Structure formats: structure tokens, C-alpha cells
């Protein structure tokens, strides 16, 4: 595929040879070391009890093993849903965090049912619809929100502001009022997270950075005697530290089980968060599962509808037990692959290790400083909202940066749902006003197909954009189901091909090569890219041929 020439593919591996279950056991254990602090941190940032994140990961490990058909994805709580979970607890509780938590669980139950319906209706392919720049803008906004809230925790300061932009504006004040001992733990933790990958030693790549943070932060917290309330003086200022700066468990895992409160489930606030949980959670999960497929050394293709069913059932169970919402999580899944996982048993083992740890060593969890967990989330947030994301988006096209920034700003000013809607609306406006897309082809591409044995031909006679990509996707699926391994896609007559379609064709090229086939893109040389990037949107130069 010409558009992907600058992004070479890894050759398809042979069929996977049988492996011992010990490979999955080792990978599951190493993922558990990463998941433990992240589950605790995500739960605390969401205003859920710390154990809620672990409940979700345990359920995700078991349910994912039995229901999912994604071999290497790890199911569990994700930073991308912190904003929604926290908003649900805050708005539904009306100042009572415990009540808001139980009502948020009810929202989680209903959202899980919606996800199960999505899976049964086979809507997994809808993940193909969302423009990448809008999704990245949403994730960047989530990153900014996480940093705005967790940076204060890392400094040991309780901010007065509540909204993300106000919290960011209050950061200089928190820096001036920081608790030095707590900030020391948070600062050292953040230094480890950023510094470890930069060290030029191979052994550093084998050490999970979050676990190293705990190995340093827990002894540091003990040395500073955080388990006992006391004051200390530094530079003529008096500061207080104590157990409130440590993780606190309310009891055993069984006693921590909390059931939902459905008393407000029909309110507009609850309905809003049901939509957010079900849509954003499903999109994130589908995108993560798709990314993991591309990382699978054996190029196994997941059943997205079955994976969405596993996530929905997992969320249903987790929400009934007091857990956070879950997705197929990309960071832990990548660690799973890097550590040699072979099947979904690794997901099961990671959940069982978490169960054993919480059941047998709850006291150790309560010696973890909150500042260390906050540092992990700040690190995650900074990566989501990195300046490199702005640069990468700009390299694809100015219009992509506009979508990214619009989604980011509207999300920060309002909420995730409106932010994503604003990004998609702008995409439609740009297509109609600037790219001159015919309204009748906005949602349905004009595609001609024919098949001859292992060869399939598709000819596009209309613009190919994100909103009509499912038309092309459906035809591709029909040809592949008929036995076509090599696909010839003729875009000679397509007046415009947007970035979303270019990226989806790039992914299709990857999938076909992994399965022993290929993608032949015909007529792309007749289009002028809007940017030098290989996946930038393209406009037909010979417009008379596109009529």
C-alpha cells in the first residue's frame, strides 16, 4: 500500500506453536505488579474506594478469560474513565461521596447492559467510525484533567477549585503551599517514572516502573512515619503528616463489596453518565483491542463483538460488587505482550494474583503513600496530553489539529460527551464546506465490487470519509468472507479521501499481510496529500475524472 510506505509492517509470524501455561503465568504475575498500584490510583482518583479498582481487575481477569476472544488484552480499570467516574460520583452524590459512589455503581450497571446490547447487535465495527484526531483530542483532555487534579495530591495540598481549568490555575499556589515530605515522595516517584525508561541499561526495561515506585515510596513513607499523625517544622513553617496521606482500606475484600443504589437511575444526570460510560468505554475498549491485535506476535485477529460482550458482562458484575468500569486496557496489554504472554490465561492469572494479594496482604496496601499513586496518574496524564501529540496531529494535517484542539477545549470547558460531539460536528462542517463532499455521500459511499477466487476488486466512485467508511468496511468484509485474500481498491475516481479512511486502509493492509494476503491501492498517485504525512487526507487532482 503506497500510503503506508513510510510505516513498514512486521512480517506475519507463522502459526503459534504450543506453549506451556507457565509463559502466561509469568506474564500474568508481571502485569499484576504493574496493575496493583494503577488500580488503586485510578480508584482513588475516581473517588471510589481503593479496593474498587482491584475488584474490577479481578472480575476482568476471570470474565475476560471465559468470554473474550482477544488473546492478549488485559481487562481492568483505565485512566481514560476517571473523569466520567469522578463526575458521576460528584454530581449524583450532591456532596455525599458514599451516596454518589453507590449511585455511580447503578449507572455502571445500566451502562454495562447497554454495552451487552451493543455486542449482541454486533456494533463492534462502529469503532471504525470515530475520527482518530477526535479520539486523541478526547484522550488529551482526559490527560489534562487527570494532571489538574492529581498534581495537588502529589504535593500534599487540598485545592479549593473543582473544575479542571481552575485547578490548573491553582497549581502555582499549591507549589508554594506544598507539604515538603509528601512532595518529596511524589517528586521522587515522578522522577522514577520518567527517568527509568531513559537509562541506557537493558535491565531497566525488565523492571515495571510502577512497582519500582512502590519499592521506593513505601520505605520512604515508613521512614517519614506517615502511619502516625505528627507535625514537623521546615524553614520556620509547620506541616502535618499522618495516615490520611496513605491508602486506606475499609476492611477485607468481602466486607468492601458495595451494592448499587438505583434511586436516581432515571434522572437526567444518571442518563447522561450512562451514555458516557457506555459510549466512551466501548470506544476506548475497541480501539485498545484493535491496537493489541496489531501488536500480537502471531497476528491473531480478535472478535470485537465478543470482546465488547466480555467487557459488558465484566462491567455488570463489577458494578454490582462495587467496582470501577473496565475496558480492554492498552498499557497493561502491551506489558502483557512484552513479558511473553501467549493466551488469555495471562489475563486470568493477573486477576488471581491481585485477589491473592488483597486477601493475604491488605496491610501492605495501606502502607502505600497516596502521593506515589498520584505521581503515576500525573505521569499517565502528561503522556496523554504530551506536546508530541499536538505535533503528530499537526503533521497529519491542519484540519486534524483543529479537530484535536476543538475536542480538547470543549471537553475541558464542558464534558467528554460534548467534547467528542463538537469534534465530530466540526469534521462534518469541514467536509461539507471545505472539502465539498456531496451530502448524499456523507453517510454512504458509492462502492462497486467484484470477486474472482482469491482476488477482490473495490472501486470507489464517491468521497471516502469517516462517516461513510462503514459502507466500504462492509464490502471489504463481504469480499474477505467470500475468500478474497488480495484486495485491489481503486480510488482513481474518489474526489476526496480523509485521514480516517487512510488510517483504516493502512490497518487493513496490515491485517491482510498478516493473513498472507495484500492490499493493492490503485490511483492514489492521482491525489494530492494535504500534508506530506503518508496518512494525510488526499484530494483528487484530476477532478473531471471524479464526476
| 3 is a domain residue | no
Q: Give the integer Cα–Cα distance in Å for 396 and 7.
A: 14
Picking from 400, 433, 466, the residue at the C-terminal end of a domain is 433
Beta strands 518-522 and 486-490: pairing type? parallel
Q: Are residue 401 and residue 304 in the same domain, yes or no?
A: no
Per the CB < 8 A criterion, the answer to whether 515 and 522 are in contact is no
Q: Are residue 75 and residue 155 in the same domain, yes or no?
A: yes
Domain count within the chain: 3
Q: Are residue 372 and residue 444 in the same domain, yes or no?
A: no
Domain coverage including residue 415: 388-433
Picking from 380, 406, 423, the residue at the C-terminal end of a domain is 380
Give the CA distances from residue 403 to residues 67, 408, 533, in Å, rounded to whole numbers and listed in that order.
36, 8, 17
Residue 378: closest CA among 128, 35, 134, 144: 144
Tell me the DSSP string of 215-243. Answer: HHHHHHHHHTTTTS-EEEEETTEEEEESG
Per the CB < 8 A criterion, the answer to whether 417 and 276 are in contact is yes
**pLDDT for 525 beyond 80:** yes
pLDDT tens digits, one per residue of 179-197: 999 999 999 999 999 999 8
Is the whole-model pTM more than 0.85?
yes
Picking from 401, 433, 465, the residue at the C-terminal end of a domain is 433
| 187 is a domain residue | yes
Cβ within 8 Å of residue 52, ≥6 positions away:
43, 46, 77, 256, 322, 323, 324
Burial of 203 (0-12, 13-18, 19+ CB in 10 A): exposed
Q: Are residue 342 and residue 280 in the same domain, yes or no?
A: yes
Query: What's the pLDDT score for residue 40?
Result: 96
Cβ within 8 Å of residue 105, ≥6 positions away:
258, 259, 260, 261, 319, 320, 322
Packing angle of the helix pair 132-155, 21-45 (nearest 10 deg): 70
Query: What's the pLDDT score for residue 8?
Result: 37
Q: Are residue 211 and residue 311 in the same domain, yes or no?
A: yes
Query: What's the pLDDT score for residue 250?
Result: 80
The residue-averaged pLDDT of 482-506 equals: 93
Grid cell of 57 as nine digits: 481487575
- 3-class secondary-structure state, position 435: coil
Q: Give the integer Cα–Cα distance in Å for 276 and 236.
A: 48
Q: If you average pLDDT over every residue of the chain, what do you get?
A: 91
Residue 370's H or E segment, with its range, is: helix 370-384
Q: Give the integer Cα–Cα distance in Å for 474 and 504.
A: 13
| 140 is a domain residue | yes
Tell which wins on pLDDT, 165 or 14. 165
Query: What's the pLDDT score for residue 416?
Result: 86
Query: What's the pLDDT score for residue 129?
Result: 77
* Residues linked to residue 234 through DSSP beta bridges, in sequence order: 237
Q: Are residue 299 and residue 319 in the same domain, yes or no?
A: yes
Query: What's the pLDDT score for residue 17?
Result: 52
* Residues linked to residue 458 through DSSP beta bridges, in sequence order: 449, 489
| 6 is a domain residue | no
Query: Which segment of 67-71, 159-163, 428-432, 510-514 scores lowest on mean pLDDT?
Result: 510-514
| 495 is a domain residue | yes
pLDDT tens digits, one per residue of 277-316: 999 999 889 888 888 887 888 878 888 899 999 999 999 9
The residue-averaged pLDDT of 250-278 equals: 93
Q: Are residue 88 and residue 234 in the same domain, yes or no?
A: yes
Q: Give the integer Cα–Cα distance in Å for 232 and 238.
A: 6
**pLDDT for 119 beyond 90:** yes
Cβ within 8 Å of residue 402, ≥6 positions away:
426, 430
Q: Are residue 452 and residue 418 in the same domain, yes or no?
A: no
Query: What's the pLDDT score for residue 331?
Result: 84
Beta strands 486-490 and 455-460: pairing type? parallel
| 4 is a domain residue | no
| 8 is a domain residue | no
Query: What's the pLDDT score for residue 547?
Result: 39
Q: How many residues does the structure list for the chain? A: 547
Q: Are residue 413 and residue 322 in the same domain, yes or no?
A: no
Q: Are residue 423 and residue 344 in the same domain, yes or no?
A: no
* Residues linked to residue 528 through DSSP beta bridges, in sequence order: 539
- 3-class secondary-structure state, position 532: coil
- 3-class secondary-structure state, position 327: strand
Burial of 390 (0-12, 13-18, 19+ CB in 10 A): middle
Give the CA distances from residue 33 to residues 39, 49, 301, in Å, rounded to whole numbers and listed in that order.
11, 20, 27
The residue-averaged pLDDT of 89-112 equals: 96
Q: Are residue 462 and residue 523 in the same domain, yes or no?
A: yes
Cβ within 8 Å of residue 96, ≥6 positions away:
none
The HSE-up count of residue 65 (CA atoms within 13 Å, CB side) is 16
DSSP 526: G
| 7 is a domain residue | no
Q: Are residue 262 and residue 153 in the same domain, yes or no?
A: yes
Per the CB < 8 A criterion, the answer to whether 326 and 318 are in contact is yes
Grid cell of 437 as nine digits: 463532499
Query: What's the pLDDT score for residue 334?
Result: 87
Percentage of the chain lying above the pLDDT 90 cut: 73
Query: What's the pLDDT score for residue 2?
Result: 37
**pLDDT for 224 beyond 80:** yes
Percentage of the chain lying above the pLDDT 70 cut: 95
The residue-averaged pLDDT of 459-479 equals: 92
What is the greatest pairwise CA distance in the chain? 84
What residue has cell string 482518530?
Answer: 132
User: The domain spanning residue 496 has which CATH number?
Assistant: 3.30.750.24
Amino acid at each position: 500500500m503506497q500510503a503506508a510506505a513510510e510505516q513498514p509492517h512486521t512480517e506475519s509470524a507463522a502459526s503459534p506453536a504450543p506453549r506451556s501455561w507457565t509463559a502466561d503465568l509469568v506474564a500474568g504475575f508481571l502485569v499484576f505488579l504493574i496493575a496493583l498500584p494503577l488500580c488503586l490510583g485510578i480508584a482513588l482518583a475516581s473517588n471510589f474506594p481503593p479496593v474498587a479498582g482491584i475488584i474490577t481487575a479481578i472480575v476482568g481477569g476471570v470474565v475476560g478469560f471465559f468470554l473474550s476472544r482477544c488473546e492478549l488484552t488485559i481487562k481492568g480499570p483505565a485512566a481514560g474513565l476517571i473523569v466520567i467516574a469522578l463526575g458521576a460520583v460528584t454530581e449524583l452524590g450532591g456532596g455525599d461521596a458514599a451516596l454518589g459512589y453507590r449511585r455511580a455503581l447503578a449507572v455502571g450497571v445500566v451502562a454495562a447492559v447497554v454495552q451487552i446490547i451493543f455486542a449482541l447487535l454486533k456494533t463492534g465495527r462502529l469503532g471504525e467510525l470515530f475520527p482518530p484526531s477526535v479520539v486523541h483530542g478526547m484522550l488529551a483532555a482526559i490527560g489534562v484533567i487527570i494532571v489538574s487534579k492529581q498534581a495537588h495530591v502529589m504535593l500534599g495540598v487540598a485545592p479549593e477549585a473543582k473544575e479542571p481549568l481552575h485547578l490548573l490555575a491553582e497549581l502555582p499556589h499549591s507549589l508554594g503551599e506544598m507539604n515538603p515530605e509528601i512532595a518529596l515522595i511524589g517528586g521522587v516517584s515522578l522522577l522514577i517514572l520518567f527517568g527509568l525508561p531513559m537509562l541506557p541499561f537493558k535491565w531497566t526495561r525488565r523492571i515495571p516502573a510502577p512497582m519500582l515506585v512502590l519499592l521506593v515510596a513505601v520505605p520512604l513513607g515508613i521512614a517519614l512515619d506517615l502511619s502516625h499523625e505528627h507535625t514537623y517544622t521546615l524553614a520556620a513553617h509547620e506541616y502535618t503528616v499522618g495516615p490520611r496521606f496513605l491508602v486506606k482500606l475499609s476492611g477485607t475484600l468481602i466486607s468492601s463489596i458495595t451494592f448499587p443504589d438505583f434511586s436516581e437511575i432515571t434522572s437526567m444526570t444518571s442518563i447522561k453518565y450512562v451514555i458516557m460510560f457506555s459510549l466512551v468505554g466501548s470506544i476506548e475498549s475497541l480501539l485498545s483491542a484493535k491496537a493489541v491485535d496489531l501488536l500480537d506476535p502471531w497476528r491473531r485477529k480478535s472478535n470485537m463483538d465478543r470482546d465488547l460482550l466480555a467487557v459488558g458482562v465484566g462491567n455488570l458484575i463489577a458494578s454490582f460488587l462495587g467496582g470501577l468500569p473496565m475496558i480492554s486496557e492498552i498499557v497493561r496489554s502491551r506489558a502483557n505482550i512484552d513479558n511473553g504472554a501467549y493466551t488469555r490465561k495471562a489475563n486470568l492469572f493477573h486477576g488471581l494474583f491481585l485477589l491473592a494479594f488483597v486477601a493475604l496482604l491488605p496491610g501492605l496496601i495501606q502502607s502505600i503513600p497516596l502521593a506515589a499513586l498520584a505521581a503515576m496518574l500525573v505521569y499517565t496524564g502528561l503522556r496523554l496530553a504530551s506536546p508530541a501529540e499536538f505535533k503528530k496531529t499537526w503533521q497529519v494535517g491542519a484540519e486534524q489539529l483543529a479537530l484535536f484542539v476543538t475536542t480538547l477545549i470543549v471537553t475541558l470547558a464542558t464534558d467528554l460527551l460534548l467534547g467528542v460531539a463538537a469534534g465530530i460536528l466540526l469534521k462534518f462542517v469541514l467536509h461539507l464546506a471545505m472539502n465539498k463532499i456531496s451530502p448524499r455521500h456523507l453517510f454512504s459511499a458509492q462502492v462497486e465490487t467484484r470477486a474472482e477466487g482469491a482476488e477482490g476488486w473495490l472501486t470507489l466512485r464517491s468521497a471516502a470519509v469517516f462517516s461513510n467508511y462503514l459502507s466500504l468496511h462492509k464490502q471489504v468484509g463481504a469480499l474477505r468472507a467470500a475468500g478474497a485474500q488480495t484486495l485491489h481498491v481503486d480510488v482513481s475516481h474518489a474526489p476526496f479521501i480523509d485521514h480516517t479512511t487512510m488510517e483504516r486502509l493502512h490497518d487493513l493492509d496490515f491485517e491482510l499481510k498478516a493473513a498472507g494476503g495484500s492490499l493493492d491501492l490503485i490511483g492514489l498517485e492521482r491525489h494530492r496529500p494535504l500534508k506530506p504525512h503518508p496518512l494525510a487526507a488526499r484530494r483528487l487532482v484530476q477532478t473531471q475524472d471524479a464526476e
